[in-house]
Amino acid sequence: MALASSINCAETDLTADFRDQFLQTFQHMMLSRVLEEKLGSLYRAGGRIVGGVYLGKGQEAFSAALGIQLRKGKDVYAPLIRDQAGRIAFGEPIIDTVRTYLGAVTGPMRGRDGNIHRGRPKEGHMAMISHLGSMLAVASGALFARRLAGTLGDSVGATSIGDGGTSTGAFHEGLNMAAVEKLPMIVSVANNQYAYSTPNTRQYACENLVDRAAGYGVEGVTVDATDLASCLKAFRAAVARARSGGGPQMVVGTLLRLSGHGEHDDASYIPDKARHAPNARDCLQVAEEFACAHGWMTPAEVRELHEEVRRTVDQTVSKVSKEPTPDPYKENWQALSCAELVEGQYKA
Amino acid sequence: MSITYLEAIREAQYEALRSDPSVFLYGQDIATFGGAFKATKNLSREFPNRVFDSPISEDAMIGMAVGAAVEGARPIVEMQFADFSSIGFNQIINQAATLYWRTNVPCPITIRMPSGGTAGSGPFHSQSMEAIYAHYPGLVIVTPATVEDAYWMLLDSVEINDPVVFCEHKFLYYHLKADRIGDRELPIGKARIARPGRHATIVTYSAMVHEALRAAEELQLDGYQIEVVDLRSVKPMDTDTILASVARTGRLLALGEAFPWGGVTAEIIARVTTEGFHLLDAPPMRLNSKDTPIPYHPNLWKAHRPTTATIAAALRTLLRH
Ligand SMILES: Cc1ncc(C[n+]2csc(CCOP(=O)(O)OP(=O)(O)O)c2C)c(N)n1
């Protein structure tokens, strides 16, 4: 069996079930885009958002195509920096995003941690840390424990990383370990060509990132990440292989990051030439054209969807804006779950 | 003309590259982009073959610097955030720190660590790692609090023949300005009396020096003269200057932004109580951040770390004793 291949979506793949999933994913992508545009404008306006804003513009198809394959409550998902769309597809409500960015106490992170670092680990949604590469092993650990407990069943784990993150030792150790343990992990690598300002040529010397998979005995495919249909096909297949005992699967998506590293970054280091290359297409537009060309949606329906999504986002932001932010006097300042072990807090 | 703390760091690197061909710079996004904080802006233009972007591989970055130092190079490695040095921890404490002691070959590397908290940075972009590294023999830990120290101590760090962990504070990058950089005055290992006083001594370092100075000013309105000692380097720690100050004032507040358990403030107090117990008129106090990860929301962040107000309150308690 060839360890690395490339995925394209043929017309014969377009079953009714595929169409439904495509349209559902497209909605998630649209919601993600509109939400992120709102977050970006709030950031630029200043005052409301706590900390930085990190967007996934251009990565929605790749991210959501994975998220939609996962079953919330059954599978484990450890998203990363540019996975807003995947989070939505997985079932994270956008109010969790807004509350985290605005630092509301009502959010999953209660103002203690922010922006993209949110999660609900007890629901299989891991909360990332900044240190790149570290989530692969953590997601694997969740699966490992389930296998020990006999509750693994056909659940899978999934995590994301960028081209830059694949240079970390943690990524390599994590991938190797998952392969040795034959865990049902899907590792999606968004090769958006730049790690902050650093181009691929300064990040890795192999020709194709997917070659990393073969080195660990992991099956890998490359996909055009600007094309939702191909992304769906690739992740469907990868998740199916992992579910049926095929061990870790790597899917590498090629694209260009269409935003700065964060909203503080104008990405002026990306040359015009890269911006006009085929893999710099906007996946949202590509998906819209695909849906319309196949008669799955009309342009009017797309506009309607956009309007509806915008209303949802605006309502969510205005609701969260009225919610309380943390009060240091009410905070318990407790980093341990065992209150009696917190120094200075013990009361007989 | 004025120069910021950040510009001083850049200028020092420029000077190190200019005056010593064995110096090179290695770090993520530091070449054309000029670094996440622009501390290396334009340096790759001026020294195109000695300023390099590294992959996101902190362990390899530091290991590489150690190997280069063995061959006679004097690398400066930038951690994008001090927090990420934890990925290179093994290479720092086992490779760099032990090299000279084991092999008699010196290890002249400088690891620049953008340290400390700023509002909204959260638990992984705010940490102060100096106490962790100070624990290990074989490392020098530098914590500049002024524009001049940022400049001269970085040059000193590159010149000395041992691994230096250079903890520059992100909050000071833009907040601190000087009219010009004066002459080199104190060497690494010597503390500075940032403000003379006679009623109590605050021993601190890095960004907290400025909070301490403001608290001292506040207490002056109550008629108290507070002495502020800026350690400049936490290792070596200038115990003589600390003890001399406590001998003048009889009271000690050890202050740091890092987590409370162990660490630099604990070390200060251990030294003063063991070597200068007779100098104390009151039990020594210490003030650190709270014992939780560093919070994201500014409301929490401000309450997490010591501030002028909490330092002033601590001083009042200390003076009442
Ligand atoms: C271990 C580690 N070192 C450095 C950083 C700082 N950092 C945050 S994002 C980033 C670039 C990431 O690039 P990539 O993995 O390609 O993902 P992208 O941002 O392009 O989606 C860097 C260097 C980090 N988060 N973790």
A228 lines ligand 1 (CB under 6 A): no
Rg (CA), chain B: 19
Q: Which atom of ligand 1 is nearest to the CA of A56?
A: 21
Record the tokens describing residue A81, joined without a space: 């920096």
Q: In this complex, is the C-beta atom of A117 within 8 Å of any C-beta atom belonging to chain B?
A: yes
A7-25 burial code (b ≥16 CB/10 A, e <16): bebeeeebeeeeeebbbeb
3-state secondary structure of B253: strand
- Complex confidence, ipTM: 0.92
What are the distances in angstroms from CA B181 to CA B4, B8, B43, B171, B184? 10, 8, 20, 19, 9
Residue A347: the pLDDT is: 52
- Residue A326 and residue B125: Cβ atoms within 8 Å? no
CB of A164 closer than 6 angstroms to any ligand 1 atom: yes
Our count of domains for chain B comes to 2
Size of interface A-B (CB pairs under 8 A): 119
Q: What is the CATH number of the domain that holds B61?
A: 3.40.50.970
Is B150 in the same domain as B235? Answer: no
User: Is A18's Cβ below 8 Å from some Cβ in B?
Assistant: no
Locate the chain B residue with the closest alpha carbon to A171.
B57
Residue A307 CB partners (closer than 8 Å, separation 6+): none
Residue B157 in any domain: the answer is yes
What residues of A are in contact with residue B57 (Cβ under 8 Å)?
A: 167-169
DSSP string, B68-109: HHHTT-EEEEE-SSGGGGGGGHHIIIIIIHHHHHHHS-----
Q: Mark whether B196 and B171 lie in a shared domain.
A: no
- Asked whether residue B30 falls in the same domain as residue B133, the answer is yes
Whether residues B202 and B70 share a domain: the answer is no
Q: Strand, helix or coil at A346?
A: coil
The answer to whether residues B128 and B257 belong to one domain is no
Residue B187 lies in a domain: no
B174 and B209 in a single domain? The answer is no
Cα distances from B44 to residues A297, B13, B27, B31, in angstroms, run 51, 11, 12, 5
Give the DSSP H or E segment for A177: helix A169-180
For tokens 């269409």, the residue is: A258
Beta pairing partners, A190: A162, A253
Q: What is the DSSP letter of A11?
A: G
Q: Is the residue at B112 inside a domain?
A: yes
Distance separating alpha carbons of residues B205 and B185, to the nearest angstrom: 17
CATH of residue B278: 3.40.50.920
Q: Which residues contact B76 (CB under 8 A, 6 or more apart)?
A: B13, B16, B23, B24, B25, B26, B109, B110, B112, B158
Provide the domain limits for residue B212: 192-320
Query: B98 near B89, Cβ under 8 Å?
Result: no
Instruction: Judge if B232 and B143 occupy the same domain.
Output: no
* Owner of token pair 């962990």: B165
**Pick from B178, B208, B239: which residue ends a domain?**
B178
Residue B94 counted as domain residue: yes
Closest ligand 1 atom to Cα of A133: 1
Question: Are B28 and B147 found together in one domain?
Answer: yes
Nearest to B291 among A164, A329, A335 (CB): A335
**Structural contact between residues A37 and A282, judged by C-beta atoms closer than 8 angstroms:** no
- pLDDT confidence of residue A5: 79
Which pair of tokens denotes residue B145?
């609090």
Q: Are residue B104 and residue B203 in the same domain, yes or no?
A: no
Instruction: Search chain B and give the residue with CA nearest A270.
Output: B33
* B264 within a domain of the structure (yes/no): yes
B chain contacts of residue A327, beta-carbon cutoff 8 Å: 299
Q: Does some domain include residue B10?
A: yes
Q: How far apart are CA B307 and CA B215, in angstroms?
A: 8
- Asked whether residue B275 is domain-assigned, the answer is yes
Instruction: Determine whether the shortest distance from the Cβ of A169 to ligand 1 is under 6 A.
Output: no
Identify the contact set of chain B against chain A, taking CB-CB distances under 8 A.
Answer: 28-29, 32-33, 36, 53-60, 81, 83-84, 86-87, 119-125, 261, 290-293, 295-300, 302-304
Instruction: Record the pTM.
Output: 0.95
Structural domains of chain A, ranges and CATH numbers in brackets: 11-319 (3.40.50.970)
Domain end call among B178, B208, B235: B178
Whether the Cβ atoms of residue A120 and residue A163 lie closer than 8 Å to each other = no
In 3D space, the residue among B251, B253, B313, B258 whose CA is nearest the CA of residue B276 turns out to be: B251
Q: Which two tokens stand for residue B122?
A: 């959260």
Residue B311 corresponds to which tokens in the numbers above?
């330092």
Per-residue pLDDT of chain A (348 residues; tens, 9 = 90+): 445 678 999 988 999 999 999 999 999 999 999 999 999 999 999 989 999 999 999 999 999 999 999 999 999 999 999 999 999 999 999 999 999 999 999 999 999 999 999 999 999 999 999 999 999 999 999 999 999 999 999 999 999 999 999 999 999 999 999 999 999 999 999 999 999 999 999 999 999 999 999 999 999 999 999 999 999 999 999 999 999 999 999 999 999 999 999 999 999 999 999 999 999 999 999 999 999 999 999 999 999 999 999 999 999 999 999 999 999 999 999 999 999 999 876 554
Cβ B178 vs Cβ B266: under 8 Å: no
- Kindly state whether residues B161 and B25 are assigned to the same domain: yes
B184 is a domain residue: no
Count helices and strands in chain A by DSSP H and E runs: 11, 8
> Which of B178, B206, B240 is the endpoint of a domain?
B178
- Asked whether the beta carbons of B231 and B205 are under 8 A apart, the reply is yes
pLDDT at A345: 60
Q: Which residue has a Cα nearest atom 12 of ligand 1?
A: A195
Q: Among B33, B60, B296, whose Cβ lies nearest the Cβ of A113?
A: B296
B55: chain A residues, CB-CB within 8 Å: 164, 167, 195, 198, 202-204
Same domain, B26 and B126: yes
Closest residue to B57, CB basis, from A50, A167, A334: A167
Does residue B125 carry a catalytic annotation? yes
For the beta carbon of residue B152, count every other beta carbon within 10 angstroms. Answer: 24
Same domain (yes/no): B149, B42: yes
- pLDDT value for A131: 97
